[in-house]
Amino acid sequence: MSFPAAPADERAELRIGMIGYSFMGAAHSQGWRVAPKFFDLPLNPVMKTIVGRNADAVAQAATQLGWQTYNTDWRAVVESDEVDLIDVCTPGDTHAEIAIAALNAGKHVLCEKPLANSVEEAEEMAAAAEKAAEKGIRSMVGFTYRRVPAVTLARDLIASGKLGAIRQVRAQYLQDWLADENAPLSWRLDKEKAGSGALGDIGAHIIDLTQYMTGESITGVTGMIETFVDERPVSISHSGLSGEAGTERGPVTVDDAALFLARFSGGAIATFEATRFAWGRKNAIRIEINGTKGSVAFDFEDMNVLEFYDAGDDQQTAGFRRIIATEDVHPYVAAWWPPGHGLGYEHGFVHQAADLVQDIANDRQPLPSFADGLAVQRVLAAVEASSDAGTVWTNVT
């Protein structure tokens, strides 16, 4: 007995070539795989080819993650007529070269954060993106946490005036995977590859998030960065953020923690903290924003919840409301499950893929743009310059 075939997908294809197949490679694959299953997209994203330097490993990744083909030469993929979009999931030292080559070859680009390893590289990338946009070639930087529904909801509440004028921003990104001084070296601890340490890896996220949520930009900073452990075992294998330690040792060339104060363009003042040494904090992105009319508070370790305080509430019952951001009126949620059936880390990547496909199809600039990525890069550079100069006030230029 044969069963009727499902109708063919009539949508035009958006064929993707992804460079890198490890942590972000797996997360982005999940995004591309799932987005068209839950969101009604105008184009059909096709997982065409995946790129890595080791043929056996990338072949295995292609099968596991669901890519049609694999390749060991990113330049061949960037130039290929069989690919429409390049998704850059490699360490920061490769972003500029791959993304600019892809834009120049007429490919849309999704590039992981931080956009680059220096302001100069980020400027070149933003210029290439602007030029490409004139021909309808789109680009986006992967500050994924913007697309957590509770975060997008906070942004919407602030934009609608519920918090009034923003006075204070408190932002932390706390992890603990380096707190053990024998946790092994990886590319994230090598300035040549990563650009900076906690500052660029996780501090970049809270810089982007707070600029996005407030709709304001950071105009100046005073910063302090610190390396607690300057030598570690070299890793013999890599998995997730870290890996397995060998017997050889090597230098740590980036910061372990970064603290800074900042001013926003609307007059708000802010504190920022990024560390991978906060024992017990696994992926604690905590943002609290106080305005003239109320506050919002978010913690990624309870990512489906947004806390909101309305200063106009009756005094007797006033208090932070714990909004479970899983109702279909909340951003992105209508595409998913019934209320209270929470979302997880991977959903941000699905939302990112869905938004990018819609923007490309509708000929709109996706956000965050490479210009937004450059703005973050300028803040990172100002924090480093401030710290190097003895924690002096430094304007973001």
Binding mask 76-95 for ligand NAD (x = CB under 6 A): -------------xxxx-x-
Q: Which is nearer to ligand NAD, 38 or 187 (CB)?
A: 187
Judging by DSSP bridges, how do beta strands 166-174 and 269-275 pair with one another? parallel
Least CB distance to ligand NAD at residue 61 (A):
8
The residues facing 289 across adjacent strands are 169, 296
Determine contact, residues 51/67, Cβ cutoff 8 Å.
Answer: no
Task: Answer yes or no whether residue 25 interacts with ligand NAD by CB under 6 A.
Answer: yes
DSSP code of residue 4? P
CA geometry: angle at 103 spanning 75 and 42, to 5°?
110
Minimum distance from residue 52 beta carbon to ligand NAD (Å): 5
Q: Which residue has the tokens 């980036």?
A: 254
Task: Let me know: does 151 contact 298? Beta carbons within 8 Å.
Answer: yes
Nearer to ligand NAD, 264 or 349 (CB): 349
User: Is the Cβ of residue 21 or residue 32 nearer to ligand NAD in the bound state?
Assistant: 21
20 forms part of the interface with ligand NAD (CB under 6 A): yes
Does 177 contact ligand NAD by CB under 6 A?
Answer: no
CB of 118 to ligand NAD, least distance (A): 14
Question: In this complex, which beta carbon is closest to ligand NAD, that of residue 24 or of residue 46?
Answer: 24
If the CB atoms of residues 277 and 349 are measured against ligand NAD, the closer one turns out to be 349
Residue 122 sits in the site that holds ligand NAD (CB under 6 A): no
- Check residue 19 for interaction with ligand NAD (CB under 6 A): yes
Question: Pairing mode, if any, of strands 269-275 and 257-264?
Answer: antiparallel
Beta carbon nearer to ligand NAD, 45 or 52: 52
Nearer to ligand NAD, 22 or 44 (CB): 22
The total of other beta-carbon atoms located within 10 Å of residue 44's CB is 14
CB of 117 to ligand NAD, least distance (A): 9
**DSSP SS3 for 369:** coil
- In the bound complex, what is the minimum distance in angstroms from residue 90's beta carbon to ligand NAD? 4
Q: Is 332 in the site for ligand NAD (CB under 6 A)?
A: no
Cα first-last separation, the chain: 69
Cα–Cα distance for residue pair 364/351, rounded to 1 Å = 16
Residue 164 Cβ vs ligand NAD, minimum distance, rounded to whole Å = 31
Binding of ligand NAD by 29 (CB under 6 A): no
Site for ligand NAD in 39-58 (CB under 6 A): 51-53
If one asks whether residue 171 binds ligand NAD (CB under 6 A), the answer comes out as no
Does residue number 147 form part of the binding site for ligand NAD (CB under 6 A)?
no
Using rule CB under 6 A, residue 70 touches ligand NAD:
no
Q: Do 355 and 331 contact (CB within 8 A), yes or no?
A: no
17 or 233: whose CB is closer to ligand NAD? Answer: 17
Planar angle of CA 68, 71, 73, nearest 5 degrees? 150
355: which 2 tokens?
Answer: 């938004």
Contact 282, 176 (CB under 8 A): yes
Q: Which is nearer to ligand NAD, 22 or 60 (CB)?
A: 22
Give the full edge-to-edge strand order of the sheet including 321-324: 321-324, 305-310, 294-299, 284-291, 166-174, 269-275, 257-264, 218-226, 394-395
Q: Tell me which H or E stretch contains 26.
A: helix 23-38
Footprint of ligand NAD (CB under 6 A): 19-25, 51-53, 74, 89-92, 94, 112-113, 142, 144, 187, 201, 238
